Amino acid sequence: MQGAILLLAAGSSSRMGKPKQLLPHKGRTLLWHAANAAKMAELGEVLIVTGELDVHIRMNLADLNISFVLNPNWAEGMASSIVTGMNYLTNLQPVPDAVLIMVGDQPAVNEGLLKKLWLNWQESGKAIAASSYAQQVGTPAVFAQSLFSELLLLKGDTGAKKLIKKYQDQVSLVPFPDGLLDIDTPQDYEQLKKSSE
């Protein structure tokens, strides 16, 4: 089975007040750790969708030897980044059997979780394998090729959660309690720094 990982990094971090993708974390940046986990999982092509910070992100991740695509409509919200990434991935030969979608502001994501999601998706026979934390279901999540056409139709700032909700009987869950930690505000980042000391 051939996979691909789509890492969304195009947002403007409005609540943080500065680019959260490039915040220092464990000697690198939040985004570098996410991209490195994606690469280490060895599930196939790793594609970073960039936006406003395109040049800075490419420079920051230059040592990882991964692919980038610029979302010119990044200001429209997360769905536009998924569509940009899916347009790129569906033109690959062969087209991936599934795509794992992840974001750059969940510092607890590691290669082990990504591999577990992929394996769970393969073994469950369901269309989606998603992370579950605190009564929520979300990213990282794997979507089968049968859903690619719907991922390409997403609009606004909803992301792929819309599909997880729509096909809830086709979702296999992987517990990821630390998924609740995402870095949206300066307070979140201060908490992360304290816990990493």
Query: Which pLDDT score, from 0 to 100, does residue 21 have?
Result: 77
129-146 burial code (b ≥16 CB/10 A, e <16): bbbbbeeebbbbbbbbee
Asked if the model's pLDDT at residue 5 lies above 70, the reply is yes
Query: Which pLDDT score, from 0 to 100, does residue 185 have?
Result: 73
Count other C-beta atoms under 10 Å from residue 125's C-beta.
9
C-alpha of 196 from chain center: 22
* Rounded mean pLDDT, 164-173: 95
pLDDT in tens, 86-135: 999 999 999 999 999 999 888 889 999 999 999 999 999 999 999 998 88
Overall number of domains in the chain: 1
HSE toward the beta carbon, residue 65, CA cutoff 13 A: 3
What is the pTM assigned to this prediction?
0.93
Contacts of residue 95, defined as CB under 8 A and 6 or more positions apart, other chains included, come to 89, 145, 148
Query: Which pLDDT score, from 0 to 100, does residue 18 have?
Result: 56
Q: Which residue has the higher pLDDT, 178 or 139?
A: 139
Asked if the model's pLDDT at residue 179 lies above 70, the reply is yes
Q: Which two tokens stand for residue 96?
A: 């991936």
CB 142 within 8 A of CB 98: yes
The number of residues in the chain equals 197
Cα separation, 103 vs 116, in Å, equals: 17
pLDDT in tens, 6-25: 999 987 655 555 567 777 77
Give the domain range for residue 71.
3-196
Distances (CA, A) of 99 to 19, 27, 103, 134, 165: 26, 29, 13, 24, 17
Query: Which pLDDT score, from 0 to 100, does residue 189 have?
Result: 66
Contacts of residue 130, defined as CB under 8 A and 6 or more positions apart, other chains included, come to 117, 137, 138, 139, 140, 141, 142, 164, 171, 172, 173, 174
Angle at 189 (CA atoms; ends 186, 191), nearest 5 degrees: 115
CATH of the domain at 32: 3.90.550.10
Of the listed ranges 4-13, 27-36, 46-55, 148-157, the one predicted with least confidence: 4-13
Query: Which pLDDT score, from 0 to 100, does residue 38 have?
Result: 97
